[in-house]
Amino acid sequence: MGDLPSIQQLECFIIYGRVQNFTRAAKEANITQSAFSAQMKNLESALGVTLIQRSKRGSHLTEAGKVFLARITDWMDGLHKIVYDLQSANAAQPAELNVGILRTFGDIQVNRHIAHFRQTNKNLRFNVFDLETDQICRALQDDRLDVASTYYVADSLPAGGAAEYETAHFCWDNLVYYAPLLQPRVVPVTREAIARLPIVIYPKNYFMNKTFHAYFAPVLEKETPVISARLSTPYAMV
């Protein structure tokens, strides 16, 4: 058996496998594109297998590259956990993780996730900050947050910002129509029926206002909703 690949080569390959682009992968790895390309060439040479198919139109993983990516990602995750467990067992102070959440998510939702996570990561301390969308964006850009929980990333981050971060979807929300005094004749209540009644909506600059208009788009051409009040914030009560 020849020389084994280096950890840096493997980490660079995992980054490439996620973004499928040499320029973006090199930027994320914080090295030049030529250095990143050399890492991939050296990795393929050590393995004796072509992992990335290159052409003038771009690049993509080969079938062998896809198989290797899946296996080496699991192995690397295991290695990181081994190192973390060893460091945590001998650390005098717990590691800290700064988490930014939108205020509309609330502490209750986040607290139960943290409680579950700490069952297997006991030597980790969480600092949770409830912020507005623009505050989360600035904190991420200033490296004041390690993790941020927000709505659909394309609507939450500045233009082009999503490419700078690793993102993962973790849940879908339901749109809830709250009308405790309404006694509908037909159940479920349709969008057309709601649009004929006075509505309280969110401020214009909030994500939920965009969601409202997207939801009612099919009926807005026929019905013009009567806006009885526009809340000052998403947390205001009528």
pLDDT (tens digit per residue) in 156-203: 555 445 556 777 777 776 777 788 887 877 788 888 888 888 888 877
CA angle at residue 39 from 38 to 42, to 5 degrees? 85
- Report d(CA 113, CA 103) in Å as an integer: 16
117 φ/ψ angles, rounded to the nearest 5 degrees: -65, -35
Question: Using an 8 Å Cβ cutoff, are 91 and 81 in contact?
Answer: no
pTM above 0.95, yes or no: no
Structural domains in the chain, sorted by start: 7-87 (1.10.10.10), 92-164 (3.40.190.10), 175-238 (no CATH)
Q: How far apart are CA 62 and CA 60, in angstroms?
A: 7
Interval 10-38: pLDDT, tens: 999 999 999 999 999 998 888 999 999 99
3-state secondary structure at position 133: helix
User: Quick one: which H or E segment has residue 47?
Assistant: helix 33-47
Query: At residue 152, does pLDDT exceed 70?
Result: no
